[in-house]
């Protein structure tokens, strides 16, 4: 009985340590991946903005040149940017946030940084531009979103210029809310930021809304892409929460590798109980376990 209790106790201790390692990987290790991605996105975005098609100052259309009820563009909307491409530079001084926004809010895109809801117009354009971001993992760009209050400034730069928004509302909704990303008939151009709430949970969504500052007598830019928003029905915020099923097989293989390396390590240490054996064996075991953590994190629901 004493041996059984001792074995159970050791097993629980090891399981607890492995769980702590996995949590540490989720909270801090994932940030390494996002940091590298942000460096790459920053270089690509700056190259695009500095190109002949980029603008430093937006060219807002004059309200006097657009008849009431008419559209501000006669061109056919262009295709939406490819998923994963950098479409904006987001700066929120109060949150000390300086991040590049990518197109798309699925699992792969949100690991790169804040993601733009493809169903909404781009920032600076008329309508409701939506951006989602992680709150606890992958550099947690929206980790301090709850600190924003009415009047706080949000700066967004796209290839059409730099835009300033002012926060006017903050609230919490359920994940199945579908009206958050719909246009506001009382405000011509708004920005909606969403993330999970409360911190370390995906039970609800924290929503922050801000209005675009436009010179008097002018209108927001017309959409240059084709926003969808489900034909006016809205988009549920939990659409970004599914795990990646493609990682299941690699997860199983990584788990088997971790068990194999751990078993060999255990046998070696029990045959030659030396401190250096423990240290040398720990290196390949931790490497295999981190690979396991990598794939495990990808099949779990996003904690944005």
**Between these two residues, 231 and 156, which has the higher pLDDT value?**
156
Q: How confident is the model at residue 27, as a pLDDT?
A: 78
Question: Is the per-residue pLDDT at 228 higher than 60?
Answer: no
> Over the stretch 117-148, which tens digit does the pLDDT of each residue have?
998 999 999 999 999 999 988 999 999 999 99
pLDDT digits over 158-216, tens only? 999 999 999 999 999 998 888 999 999 999 999 999 999 988 888 899 999 999 999 98
Q: What percent of the chain has pLDDT over 90?
A: 45
* C-alpha to C-alpha distances, 129 to 119, 176, 277, 278, nearest whole angstrom: 9, 19, 57, 54
Judged against a pLDDT cut of 60, whether residue 80 lies above it is answered with yes
Q: pLDDT (tens digit, 9 = 90+) per residue, 248-266? A: 788 899 999 999 999 998 8
What's the pLDDT score for residue 114?
96
The number of beta carbons lying within 10 Å of the beta carbon of residue 269 is 16
Q: Which residues of 136-165 are buried (b: 16+ CB within 10 A; e: fewer)?
A: bbbbbbbbbbbebeeebebbbbbbbbbbeb
pLDDT at 67: 53
For residue 283, report the phi and psi dihedrals to the nearest 5 degrees: -65, -55
**CB of 79 within 8 A of CB of 242?**
no
Can you read off the two tokens belonging to residue 236? 């549920």
CA distance 202 to 174: 10
Mean pLDDT of 266-271: 87
Please state, as a whole number, how many other Cβ atoms lie within 10 Å of the Cβ of residue 280. 13
Cα 172 from Cα 191, distance rounded (Å): 16
CA 285 to CA 290: how far, in whole Å?
9
Reported as half-sphere exposure (CB side, CA atoms, 13 A), residue 100 has a value of 23
């Amino acid at each position: 009985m004493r041996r059984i209790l001792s074995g159970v106790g050791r097993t629980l201790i090891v399981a607890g340590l492995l769980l702590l390692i996995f949590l540490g990987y989720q909270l801090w290790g994932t940030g390494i991946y996002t940091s590298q991605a942000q460096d790459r996105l920053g270089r690509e975005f700056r190259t695009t903005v500095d190109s002949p098609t980029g603008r430093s100052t937006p060219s807002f259309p004059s309200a006097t040149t657009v008849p009431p009820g008419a559209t501000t563009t006669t061109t056919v909307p262009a295709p939406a940017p490819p998923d994963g491409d950098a479409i904006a530079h987001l700066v929120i001084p109060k949150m000390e946030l300086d991040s590049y926004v990518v197109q798309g809010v699925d699992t792969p895109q949100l690991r790169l940084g804040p993601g733009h809801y493809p169903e909404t117009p781009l920032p600076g354009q008329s309508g409701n531009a939506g951006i989602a971001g992680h709150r606890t993992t992958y550099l947690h760009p929206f980790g301090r979103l709850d600190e924003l209050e009415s009047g706080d400034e949000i700066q967004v730069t796209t290839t059409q210029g730099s835009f300033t928004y002012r926060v006017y509302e903050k609230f919490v909704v359920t994940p199945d809310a579908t009206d958050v990303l719909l246009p506001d008939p009382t405000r011509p151009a708004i920005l909606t930021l969403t993330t999970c709430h409360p911190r370390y949970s995906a039970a609800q969504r924290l929503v922050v809304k801000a209005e675009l500052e436009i010179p008097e007598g002018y209108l927001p830019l017309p959409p240059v892409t084709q926003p969808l928003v489900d034909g006016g029905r809205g988009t549920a915020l939990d659409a970004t929460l599914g795990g990646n099923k493609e990682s299941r097989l690699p997860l199983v293989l990584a788990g088997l590798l971790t068990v194999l390396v751990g078993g060999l390590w255990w046998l070696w240490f029990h045959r030659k109980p030396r401190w250096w054996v423990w240290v040398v064996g720990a290196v390949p075991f931790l490497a295999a376990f981190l690979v396991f953590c990598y794939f495990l994190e990808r099949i779990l629901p996003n904690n944005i």
